[in-house]
Structure 1
Amino acid sequence: MNSLYIKNGNVFLNGGFEKTNITVSDGIITGISSEDQAPEGAAVYDATGKTVVPGFIDLHTHGAVNVDVNAATAEDLEKISHFFATQGTTSWLCSVLTDTREQTLWCIGQFREHQKMESNGADLMGIHLEGPFLAAEYKGAMPEHLLMNRPDMELLREYQEAADGAIRYITVSPEVEGVTESIGNMKELGMTVGIGHSGADYDTAMKAIENGAATATHTFNAMKLMHQHFPAIMGAVLESDIYCEAICDGRHLHPAVVRLLLKVKGIDKVVAVTDSIMATGLPDGKYKLGVNDIVVVDGDAKLAVGGSRAGSTLTTGTALKNILKFTGLPLEKALLLLTENPAKLIGVFDRKGSIEAGKYADLVILNEENDVEDTFVKGKQIQK
């Protein structure tokens, strides 16, 4: 039995912080106690003066360290997983940008191959499909010629069967003919449904939400914004109780908009995502996002043709510090956007998203400046 003992940490428990010790056996938290009793033979990590928080969960990312998810082999996915873990991410979904059927199935196949590997990084929990049932007018970095003007449920079933049920999340546009009527079918396939890349009117967006859409993809970005006479999808997203993704890099959303989103939706309905691309962790330069050419200047990723913003170079560790800076929230509140909220959105809160006995020992050690100092994924310390 592999055991770990983290002692004297300022641990995030039940919405607050407590100086305590954590015992881990075979990747599972088995005990939390103020009594200092390390199990015999356990590896001991001294967290004195450090903060111990749940691992960060990133539900929307297209890559990092020169690897684009749409072209990533199983080994490439492991490179992303390891890099993410060094930044505080302990669980993630790989976001497959709209692509051909053949390439999408290839991506799913590489994900399956990665599942067979012993990972030394963040837990790749599943797949996020961003498309292909998206509105061309709000395509962003989506290749327009590959978008589909109505849902093909047989194709989606083929994808989910190929993934052995691992497609956990899909982004669709409510105004695409047949989408709102198909949301229930997507949920039956095991997918959390998000709405985005959309210019849907208020009523159409609300119908999608009534039919089971659970979140909005990169809220405010690539969607029709609210007008006092025509609230559109943005109005429906803000008024309803669905979750909202937020890219907190200071570029996709002004800090005031992050504050406004939290004020309107409440702290428990905002999910911080990176929407990161292969340039993350690397210098400025030329990169790819799916079939698109991307240019990164001063860390800002844009399409080489047209200049639309195309993903980010954000990490979850930086996102946390940005949220703290933008909002003035205490750490115990800001953490929810990266831990509990995403875990609840995709239905994994029974085993991830908080520090509790019986859950995976997905833990991040923060220093006094809230920088990520160390990361544990299922009890394994990730070496940088």
Structure 2
Amino acid sequence: MRKTLFTHGRVYVNGYFQETDLLVQDGRIAGFGGKADEVVDLEGQMLVPGFLDLHTHGGDGVDVNAATAEDLAKIGRFFAKNGTTGWLCSILTDTEEQTLWCIEQAKAAMGAPVTGAQLMGIHLEGPFLSVEYKGAMPEHLLQKGNAELFRKYQQAADGAVRYITVSPEVAGVVDMIGEIAGHVTVAIGHSGADYETACAAIDKGAACCTHTFNAMGLFHQHRPSIMGAVLERPVCCEAICDGRHLHPGSVRMLLACKGWDKVVAVTDSIQAAGLPDGHYKLGVNDVVVEDGDAKLVSNGVRAGSTLTTGQALKNLVKFTGESVEKVLPLLTANPARLIGMDHRKGTIDLGKDADLVILDQDLNVKATYVAGINVYAGEN
């Protein structure tokens, strides 16, 4: 029963930094003080819960839709450098055969020893999405609502599909949400749904909006649309805080409308994250990245991001003018609660997984721990 003590730093507990020691035993938070086999001197730095990214398509040269289990582990190691301790791999709309292959790779990666950020499960972005707001989705693979196909994917995943994005206006989707909402967290997005249809989806169990304001029908005072519905109703809203997908003022407006407990920061990153400008893939799509901005080669539509969670934290502090204490839940407690993993992750509490990040005063990631294991120890 190996014990590690983090000492001489500021620990983020109950929404505030406290000058206390933190004891980790067998991968879990064991107490606030005590004796240990190993002592980590924080040297006055901050110890915070690890970041959770629920919507990402890859990084460090790896695209989720083409990733083997080993490739997914590579993504996890890259994410750990940026403070991510847990993530969902977002499978872009693809053929049934390729989607099932991706699910098998994800299952294998989830069962492998921890070497980086933990793959917590799968996010299916489609295939039950709108043609009009398809973004980077292959149009010929988009489908009507089909609960049976979802159940096939969930059975193949042994229940590891934790999150799915659907478009409410697509035929059969609202009824599908009613069938599957108890088995997966449902988000609505890639959608031009009117206000009434979006509200019907929420009433059936949709709990979140995918990359809010992006790839969706926007608000009009006479036609509030899906945007008006998700701002008004008690659902969570994803936000890509890279300064490109959302103006800082839009981020502040979203927080003012929803409250700080209903916004979930995501990266929606692609394989280009962490790499120079150039040509990359997003599923079957060719993407060009210029000045860090990813767009489809075919039509110039923005296609994911090159954002990391570590940069998102810095951006949110800058965009809002708020303290890191207030911003942290958008990357930690809120995503954990959305997918029903807040009993294990998202905060520093007794018995929870010891998924921890050391930040310096400039919010740079200095070290990352997953289940008490040091998976990133800073740059050499």
Name the TM-score, length of structure 2 as normaliser.
0.98
What does residue range 1-384 of structure 1 map to in structure 2 within 5 Å?
1-33=1-33, 37-39=34-36, 42-148=37-143, 150-188=144-182, 190-383=183-376
CA displacement 1:339-363 (0-9 Å, x = unmatched): 0100100001111000011000001
TM score, norm. by length of structure 1: 0.97
Cα distance between partner residues in 2 of 1:131 and 1:353: 26
Secondary structure of 2:343's counterpart equals coil
Conservation of the 8 A alpha-carbon contact between 2:146 and 2:176? no
Cα distance in 1 for partners of 2:2, 2:308 equals 30
- For the residue of structure 2 that corresponds to 1:96, the secondary structure is strand
In percent, how many aligned pairs have the same letter? Answer: 63
Distance 2:347 2:335 in 1: 11
**In structure 1, C-alpha distance between the alignment counterparts of 2:181 and 2:253, rounded to whole Å:** 30
State the shift of 1:330 in Å: 1.1
**SS of residue paired to 1:382:** strand
* RMSD of Structure 2 on Structure 1 (CA): 0.8
Measured after TM superposition, the shift of residue 59 of structure 1 is 0.2
Tell me the amino acid that sits aligned with residue 173 of structure 1: S
Q: In 2, distance between residues paired with 1:329 and 1:311?
A: 26
Q: Distance in 1 between matches of 2:255 and 2:82?
A: 24
Once residues 163 and 93 of structure 1 are traced to their aligned partners in structure 2, the CA distance between those partners, rounded to angstroms, is 13
Separation in 2, partners of 1:117, 1:236: 41
Distance 1:50 1:38 in 2: 21
- Partners of 2:110 and 2:121 within 8 A in 1: no
| Whole-Å separation in 1 of the counterparts to 2:136 and 2:2 | 45
How many residue pairs get aligned? The number is 377
- The residue type equivalent to 2:330 in the other structure is L
Question: How far does the alpha carbon of each residue in 1:103-151 deviate from its partner, in whole angstroms, 9 at most, with x for none?
Answer: 0000001111112311210110000000000000000011101000x11
Q: SS of the residue aligned with 2:32? A: strand
List per-residue Cα deviations over 1:224-276 (Å, max 9, x = no partner).
00001100000001111100000000000000000000011101100000000
Dislocated runs of 4+, deviation >6 Å? none
- Structure 1 unaligned segments of length 5 or more: list them: none
> How many angstroms apart in 1 are the aligned matches of 2:59 and 2:304?
11
Distance 1:208 1:153 in 2: 14
User: Could you tell me how far 1:152 is from its partner in structure 2?
Assistant: 1.7
- Paired residue type of 2:335: P
* Letter of the structure 2 residue corresponding to residue 27 of structure 1: G
Distance in 2, Cα, partners of 1:157 & 1:264: 34
Partner SS state of residue 268, structure 1: coil
